[in-house]
Copies of this chain bind each other. A is one copy, B any other.
């Protein structure tokens, strides 16, 4: 039973990679990092009822468990290579395993990612994925490089996933499909992260909320940041269902967007916007790096706003 899910995923992905010397089925996988490359490694756990609502489809769980990890690689500018998956579940049904394998494999296939190992056990529903990607020495996008005067930018739109979570309680969720899709099927910004190498001075993916995650860049870089609230990119789906104040709150502190927030020297912004457009990724200038510490949010008149809360802390919530 132990390799059942793992085997189902392997059959669906079937990615042949020369760098996988021994794949699934031994005590450990044996892999080779290409000469001159370094390895980016991340791990993240999704827990039912904490990171995804009870009732989320196994397809969405499989997709999201990989997506949140690929988002960490995207934030480093790394190229995905291999993953491990550890599942604990009370549901040993073939339908559950097939669904989870489908969702995981759909996303993995986009990146020629190979599943190289894993573990399945009976227990409460939690999915842990560890991912590995390649970077060149000195090239990884860290949180610590933001400098006073840099501008702050984000990819895509913010707040949709938090709005989708709110909408799940509605009697009819059909009108909110676009928002719920952002919650359940986040698309990691892998190509965008790679395009930012050598240009962005700092980068992070937005998992806990913009204010909280930009705060991590500020803390690591020893700087502060201001955000211009009116500039925050928000989708038409968000505005069609929520008023301005709620949409702003979702954009500032809603988690699970998995967009990239990054800093660039002001004279590089135009080049960078063109680079991201080439990989199909919209980007918006939302603020700037300043002296001091922490993140301040300014309204259209330049007054400081106090968000209702500053980011979704999985542990504190």
Q: Which residues of A contact B (CB under 8 A)?
A: 1-2, 4, 21-22, 25-33, 35, 38-45, 47-51, 71-73, 75-76, 78, 82, 84-88, 92, 116-124, 126, 128, 130-133, 135, 137, 140, 142-144, 203-205, 220, 313-317
Contact = CB atoms under 8 A, between A and B. Distances in A.
Contacts of A35: 35
Given A43-B84, A123-B124, 17 more contacts: A1-B313, A2-B314, A21-B38, A21-B140, A26-B143, A27-B143, A28-B40, A28-B131, A28-B133, A30-B76, A30-B140, A43-B130, A48-B123, A51-B121, A120-B315, A122-B315, A128-B128
A28 B73 contact: yes
A119 B50 CA distance: 14
A150 B198 CA distance: 55
Q: Which residue, A26, A72, A119, A142, has most C-beta atoms of chain B within 10 A?
A: A26
Query: By DSSP majority rule, is chain A's interface helix, strand, loop, or mixed?
Result: strand
Contacts of A26: 76, 142-144, 220
Q: Which of A120, A131, A204, A315 has the largest count of B CB atoms less than 10 A from its CB?
A: A315
A32 B137 CA distance: 9
